[in-house]
Each structure stands twice: as C-alpha cells, then as structure tokens.
Amino acid sequence: MVKNRNVGVVIILSLITCGLYNIYWMYAITEEISYLIDDRSFRGGKVILFSLITCGIYTFFWYYTVGSKLMIAQRNHNKMVKDNSIIYLILAIFGLGIISNAIIQSDMNNFAQ
C-alpha cells in the first residue's frame, strides 16, 4: 500500500529533524516500491543497514535503484513511464538529495491516488 505524503512536509520534517525523518522516509519508500513491483529483495531495512555500514555511500546507489524500480512500477501500473534514475543520482552526488526526495515523493503520490 502506497501512502500519499505531502512533498513539502517531507522536506520540512527532514530538515527539522536533521535527517532522522529522511531515514524513516527512505525505509518507507523502499517498502512501498517493493510492494508495488512485488520485489521482496528490495527491503527498507537492508537499505538503512547498508547506508549506515558504508557511511552513506550506498545511498547514491539507492537513489539510482529507486529511479529504476519506479520506472518498472510505472510500467506495471500503466502510468506514464519516466526514468529519473540519473537525475536522482546526479542531484544526490551534488548534495541536493532533498530535491531528489521531493521528486521521488511526487512520483510515489501518483500511485496513492
């Protein structure tokens, strides 16, 4: 089940909590995408664990993977297919991951409708 979240609230909570909400959000988004594409290997706990072990380097891989898996979910649910994986990755590399989060949440909200 995909939860509709306000993009502005996601950004504000991530900033106010110094990134703690962002960790929860990454977990939740990963679980929702896993549900959408029925992929039990793509799990939120694994993402958080690998991100902590690699001191955040895995997060760059996660942004790219989320873009790819969102494209699969869009195709499976007859939505307009957009491959934003490179955009998510480039924004994250340049320290603009919060913008990637906003775009990802916006794309996920299309599934909640």
| 100 contacts 88 by C-beta, under 8 angstroms | yes
The stretches in the chain having pLDDT less than 70 are none
> Per-domain residue ranges for the chain?
7-110
| 64 contacts 84 by C-beta, under 8 angstroms | no
pLDDT tens sequence across 55-83: 999 999 999 999 999 999 999 999 888 89
* Rounded Cα gap, residues 86 and 79, in angstroms: 19
pTM for the complete prediction? 0.92
- Look at the block and give the residue holding tokens 């690699």: 54
- Nearest CA to 68 out of 33, 16, 105 is that of 33
Cα 70 to its chain centre, rounded Å, is 9
State percent of the chain over pLDDT 70. 100
**What is the pLDDT at residue 113?**
73
**What is the pLDDT at residue 97?**
95
- Nearest CA to 69 out of 101, 112, 37 is that of 37
